[in-house]
Structure 1
């Protein structure tokens, strides 16, 4: 495009769109943030789409350590707390809540430095991270089948020619101990070869007290993250740029979060679970711009992950159950006596996943624009192969219950293209299209075998208009898609759900953006409506013959519709004070959907809200930085109640949490005291509704997993530049 618009964005979570030019000094301050997940890594102002960016300054202001702490500050983004760290995300109410069995098939993409880790989102330390980008709505043109609802992209900091070194340590409640360091610089005198390495080890007990084992670390967080980057700029004309990224993560976390009495933090398990992930991954990005009319980008990525999720399914211990009386039934189902309960259940899934992807992109230069030099073009090819082996084992009262080994392979091939046209007068048009073919193969030891093939397409059409010095609008229509699949191990009464069809999502969005005064106040709003066709719904039934066991499957609902908005603002009152915040409103409802409960009775969810789709999400923050080096931050976030699942009507409660930090910034060091969830609010992040207590006759009730309680700590950072 001929016209370069500066960015209107926030230093916190920001919506940024096209704007006409401001003063030069304002442009310099605003235009530092770009969307690195975009094809051209364009300024946020050139993306007519609802995008939030949280940068390294906001991580520091709010003492954030992991992406889990970023989530609550982003409008219309939620997560399901069925793992030790967030793995399952929902954008505008669309996304998975769990994946206990079956093939990986994410609705929300999760990418770290061009490495696809969708469905494996735990390894998201924020140390030495440049920014987190959240793209809302279907990203059919750019990312295809794994971005039906949107995308989360984590970008770590790049190598620098100047030497940089830094250390960071944290201590705090819950036996918190963290140590991290980074180094960056040039490896040769010409500065054509640059590097950056960053390592962090994070440990804490996990906020649970196991009263049966007399341990406080059964829900521990033991997390090692290491990144290394190498940038090579061969030649003297800057035609080549070669970036190699290596990522290693070793998360050996516990999983002991469920209690029978819903007290939240005092557990009774005798066999605490595990939620671990070991990832070795890398990406290689090669850019060549030496041709007059063409720029070529090659992007290769590989990832090898071992992950394990295990839990004590009876949520107690033999002594506890022996102290309870369970009914004894005769052949007719009548209670004839009672006896001490015997209930012992464990569930353990270990998986190995390997992904290899290759993308080639060919894009125009200023010399090769088409349609009277008004239109930039881009086309490309993409291929990915994913292999995952799952080893599932569960045991009930000492006997094997579910034993399943499965092998899954999926191959994705795609072709895509995009045109960006500048009509002049502040008017521009972006169009994109992507065709994708996925072929999958699955087999397991229960003699289930599937080999579905799906042909899918998606894209976008977006029109932007900057109609004054400080105001602009855009409209965007997009089509996203998600591959179909299959359900294994279904009983005869659910045989009609052996397979399910691809899902399609249509999104219509309008955005408004403004800069007020001297650019100190920036406001942005996106209004959207979504229509999901053949919606894939995760359903479950409790096995009446084996109450500890669930039958999990995915089915297609007829449709669902969503509408809402995202509003974000930032106001710099002066060089010392800043106020920022966000508000999301969402109404996501089923159009028509009926499922069968455990007794085979139909349950009609038509018109009900989707699971993990709170009506309101909000955040507010206040920054103070004195001229003498003192700084302080007070921030809060919250959300309204939401349904925990599509298979029952159990709901969370609305909540709000407050965090704060105060500290001092020296010439090259800083120290701060911080606190999270200062009001010690008890809030649910995941809920189940089923029978798990044999002494009560397996009567269903609600069980809740709670978020982290109040937590206070001290941080020290040293940066040598």
Structure 2
């Protein structure tokens, strides 16, 4: 098993000279960044000639999955997992998680925010969170700091890897990972000095300044540090014709991370991570004309999030039979989300004729929606895991036992205004406390068989109250786990069968009209995932493949529904309810071909079939709509990607990649659907031993592709007739990047 000092040392078979050192150094905003830049500028450049290019023939791939209890190689994990390493992140010029997610099989996101934070894995996940208790189906964790449901602060800078675990993670993560988990692992401190700086410029007034510094703080090498900082700005691709501005959808994003690692003794290690992210983004993307780049709103919205978090890990390995691990995390987040609900301006509406008591008159329609929130989470986990000497059952079985506790508090203030009058005013308070016991056994069965069994028992107590006199105190006990059997078929193939049970807590709906009182509460959802997989090396390791087939049985499926209020068409009634059992099934394939020492080709393919269970709902006119058997929202049947990287021995570099999806439904409450699309990206450049320069382009053919859609009436002069409205993804962007790195 890899120890804590070597988990960060994996490299890829075919890579650039820089794969062992992440690029960049920072030049803006924070005094700490300026201090680092000043210290490095006087002497570091003189050291660059000492950097030698590594020999690819001497390095073997060890792709380590860090999100599980025991960090293990990807090929040995009996589960469908995609790992995107730092080399691919750099090769594709990914600045944010948004730039990578289209390359993940059976993965989708809902574009109702300035950056992705609502995700779907295998068709399961949320599309929005306008009000109510935060309760995510897809976990989102950065360096052991839980940001589920608020994962928009996900810069890819100085990241070791992205891990996407598909299917319920009931043993490891419990209630927030019904559909799966996204885990971002940043680079750890190093025992030698490494520094870097990076600048990117592009159209849409893009400016990104980044930097990192890492190394020992003491001569003994027992105290190490790493600091990485990034400031990203751009206008946001939209022109507001009414205000005459091109930055109402702008992005102003700061990300900072500091890490300390202390080898206190030979048996005791401490790791501290401090994260601060300040994303002060605009939100102005909707248009009555469905323009992908032009708006006419008079009150552009915002989508901002400021998160400060910390994770503290202590590992004691001095006992003969066990290792003790303590994980403590804290996160404090302030978020603000607002939008112009009429999507236009008073002059536009005054030019239209609306029906008032059978008489035509100029329209008056002005609607604005605004919500602020404050979230705090504190969690603590203790776990004991066996050492080689502590194995049980005739030294055949590793064991693990743990306890977990988390407290989450979130206060929200909602205010909407219709024609200069308050329309909806609601202040709410929510608190949830979770306690869990968990355990896992991993047994060598002999004859190259391995058995893994895990179980988690979780208790959740919560309280909700608001100024509308809604009060709820739901509490429940839930359980999840897994059984997996794997078999090493030969040196090249490893097969597995896995059954996992996940759960998502029940909840409540607030501010419902009297006729919907029967929908005040909804029940816990459970999901059984049945999966078989094959992880293989072909042609003496030139081709790696990971194939998984799955079948998901969802019981008491939670469905997010909405109705446009017929008496107040500017307002929507939002609620969650349980549908009958439903089944999803499909397959995922990840493949990499090391064609030559200079050429690497990679691809992913996802196939997904989803369906509602027995589910009917009533539209705003009281007409019953039956969705039984229909595809779930944001669940395309096909997701795919194909890419390739070529490096010459003289230092020239090129990467070309494409990704796409088939059509999918935008919502659980209507029949509006996207169009299928394919996006093409490219990057070319030159890489020297201490610097590199690149020209890159995203969405080169300027594909118009929908990432979120609504179907409702938003134009009074047309009798509030229902119509499809689409939010489009980012158009074409061209830019350049220059970076240096030195030791």
Report if TM-score (shorter chain) is over 0.5.
Answer: yes
* TM-superposition CA deviations, 1:468-510 (whole Å, max 9, x none): 1212210000000000000000001111110000000000000
Instruction: Using the TM superposition, give the Cα deviation of residue 643 of structure 1 relative to its aligned residue in structure 2, in angstroms.
Output: 0.3
Counterpart selection for 2:113 from 79, 83, 105: 83
Say whether 1:653 aligns with 2:671.
Answer: no
Counterpart selection for 1:244 from 267, 272, 291: 272
Q: 1:376 to 1:386 in 2, by over 3 A?
A: same
* Corresponding residue number in structure 1 for 2:329: 301
* TM-superposition CA deviations, 1:102-158 (whole Å, max 9, x none): 000000000000000000011000010110000000000000000000000001100
Which SS does the other structure have where 1:72 is aligned? Answer: helix
Instruction: Using the TM superposition, give the Cα deviation of residue 513 of structure 1 relative to its aligned residue in structure 2, in angstroms.
Output: 2.1
Counterpart selection for 1:542 from 564, 581, 600: 564
Say whether 1:272 aligns with 2:300.
Answer: yes
> After the TM superposition, which residues 455-470 of structure 1 pair with which residues of structure 2 at under 5 Å, given as runs?
455-470=477-492
Contact 1:162–1:186 (8 Å) recurs in 2: yes
Counterpart selection for 2:514 from 481, 492, 503: 492
Distance in 1 (CA, whole Å) between partners of 2:64 and 2:618 is 47
Distance in 1 (CA, whole Å) between partners of 2:629 and 2:593 is 39
* Corresponding residue number in structure 1 for 2:27: none
Say whether 1:315 aligns with 2:343.
Answer: yes
**Structure 2 residues not aligned, in runs of 5+:** 3-9, 16-55
Contact 2:13–2:60 (8 Å) recurs in 1: no
* Corresponding residue number in structure 2 for 1:675: 697
Distance in 2 (CA, whole Å) between partners of 1:604 and 1:345 is 31
> After the TM superposition, which residues 446-485 of structure 1 pair with which residues of structure 2 at under 5 Å, given as runs?
446-485=468-507
Instruction: Using the TM superposition, give the Cα deviation of residue 424 of structure 1 relative to its aligned residue in structure 2, in angstroms.
Output: 2.2
TM-score by length of 2: 0.92
* Corresponding residue number in structure 2 for 1:176: 206
Contact 1:26–1:519 (8 Å) recurs in 2: no
* TM-superposition CA deviations, 1:8-33 (whole Å, max 9, x none): 99989xxxxxxxxxxxx9995121x2
Distance in 2 (CA, whole Å) between partners of 1:617 and 1:409 is 37
Contact 2:106–2:121 (8 Å) recurs in 1: yes
Distance in 2 (CA, whole Å) between partners of 1:497 and 1:28 is 59
Instruction: Using the TM superposition, give the Cα deviation of residue 523 of structure 1 relative to its aligned residue in structure 2, in angstroms.
Output: 1.6
Instruction: Using the TM superposition, give the Cα deviation of residue 300 of structure 1 relative to its aligned residue in structure 2, in angstroms.
Output: 0.2
* Corresponding residue number in structure 2 for 1:107: 137
Distance in 1 (CA, whole Å) between partners of 2:644 and 2:217 is 41
* Corresponding residue number in structure 2 for 1:29: 60
Distance in 2 (CA, whole Å) between partners of 1:247 and 1:309 is 22
Distance in 2 (CA, whole Å) between partners of 1:387 and 1:204 is 33
* TM-superposition CA deviations, 1:665-708 (whole Å, max 9, x none): 01110000000000100000000111000000111111000000
Say whether 1:524 aligns with 2:546.
Answer: yes
Contact 2:251–2:281 (8 Å) recurs in 1: yes
Contact 1:10–1:569 (8 Å) recurs in 2: no
> After the TM superposition, which residues 627-642 of structure 1 pair with which residues of structure 2 at under 5 Å, given as runs?
627-642=649-664
* Corresponding residue number in structure 2 for 1:706: 728
Counterpart selection for 2:364 from 337, 342, 348: 342
Instruction: Using the TM superposition, give the Cα deviation of residue 601 of structure 1 relative to its aligned residue in structure 2, in angstroms.
Output: 1.8
Contact 1:67–1:126 (8 Å) recurs in 2: yes
Q: 1:8 to 1:525 in 2, by over 3 A?
A: farther
Q: 1:557 to 1:163 in 2, by over 3 A?
A: same
**Structure 1 residues not aligned, in runs of 5+:** 13-24, 330-335
> After the TM superposition, which residues 214-613 of structure 1 pair with which residues of structure 2 at under 5 Å, given as runs?
214-235=244-265, 238-329=266-357, 336-613=358-635
Say whether 1:120 aligns with 2:142.
Answer: no
TM-score by length of 1: 0.95
Distance in 1 (CA, whole Å) between partners of 2:490 and 2:117 is 42
* Corresponding residue number in structure 2 for 1:15: none
* Corresponding residue number in structure 1 for 2:715: 693
* Corresponding residue number in structure 1 for 2:164: 134
Instruction: Using the TM superposition, give the Cα deviation of residue 578 of structure 1 relative to its aligned residue in structure 2, in angstroms.
Output: 1.1
Say whether 1:188 aligns with 2:218.
Answer: yes
Instruction: Using the TM superposition, give the Cα deviation of residue 299 of structure 1 relative to its aligned residue in structure 2, in angstroms.
Output: 0.2
Distance in 2 (CA, whole Å) between partners of 1:665 and 1:390 is 49
Q: 1:11 to 1:503 in 2, by over 3 A?
A: farther
Which SS does the other structure have where 1:496 is aligned? Answer: helix
* TM-superposition CA deviations, 1:587-621 (whole Å, max 9, x none): 01112111111112211001100000000000000
Which SS does the other structure have where 1:590 is aligned? Answer: coil
Contact 1:8–1:45 (8 Å) recurs in 2: no
Instruction: Using the TM superposition, give the Cα deviation of residue 454 of structure 1 relative to its aligned residue in structure 2, in angstroms.
Output: 1.2
Contact 1:11–1:57 (8 Å) recurs in 2: no
Instruction: Using the TM superposition, give the Cα deviation of residue 518 of structure 1 relative to its aligned residue in structure 2, in angstroms.
Output: 2.1
Q: 1:11 to 1:311 in 2, by over 3 A?
A: farther
Work out the number of aligned pairs and report it.
696
Contact 1:93–1:610 (8 Å) recurs in 2: yes
Contact 1:128–1:156 (8 Å) recurs in 2: yes
Q: 1:112 to 1:484 in 2, by over 3 A?
A: same
* Corresponding residue number in structure 2 for 1:151: 181
Instruction: Using the TM superposition, give the Cα deviation of residue 535 of structure 1 relative to its aligned residue in structure 2, in angstroms.
Output: 0.6
Q: 1:265 to 1:11 in 2, by over 3 A?
A: farther
